[in-house]
């Protein structure tokens, strides 16, 4: 495939919510190994190897494997999946620095701070 066709496929892969895996496989088969990112795209990663950041809950932080995210099913918990540990750490730290991470204990909510990170 020529470069312009690969570029067009890359644009389509980023914008599609469905069928992205097929296009990603075509790109990879043709030597385009750059990661595709976007809100709807996740390359297949075994569940226990996926990375999650908990932005609101009893124990905000970054965890590998959904089974390791504490109390993720509580009503006010906010947990987001990321493609890599680096992405999860980056977005979690950005949220902490912006005051957008919340600890919820016994129904009480407070802002999670950088000081809380030193006690993790």
One pLDDT digit (tens) per residue for the chain, 120 residues: 567 666 666 666 555 434 555 666 667 777 776 665 554 455 677 778 889 999 999 999 999 998 999 887 777 888 988 888 998 999 999 999 999 999 988 888 999 888 887 766
User: What single-letter DSSP state applies at residue 2?
Assistant: -
Q: Running DSSP on this structure, what letter comes out for residue 82? A: E
Question: Where does residue 45 fall: left (phi above 0), alpha (psi -120 to 50 degrees), or beta otherwise?
Answer: beta
Give Cβ neighbours of residue 83 (< 8 Å, ≥ 6 apart): 35, 37, 42, 43, 45, 51
Instruction: Determine the pLDDT at residue 63.
Output: 95
pLDDT at position 17: 39
* Extents of the domains making up the chain: 1-44, 47-118
């Amino acid at each position: 495939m020529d470069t312009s066709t690969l570029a067009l496929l890359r644009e389509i892969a980023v914008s599609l919510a469905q069928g992205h895996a097929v296009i990603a496989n075509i790109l990879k088969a043709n030597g385009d190994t750059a990661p595709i990112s976007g809100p709807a795209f996740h390359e297949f990663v075994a569940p226990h190897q996926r990375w999650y950041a908990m932005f609101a809950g009893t124990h905000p932080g970054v965890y590998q494997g959904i089974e390791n995210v504490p109390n993720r099913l509580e009503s006010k918990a906010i947990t987001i999946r990321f493609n890599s540990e680096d992405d999860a750490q980056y977005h979690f730290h950005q949220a902490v620095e912006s005051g957008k991470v919340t600890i919820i204990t016994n129904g009480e909510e407070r802002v999670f701070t950088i000081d809380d990170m030193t006690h993790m």
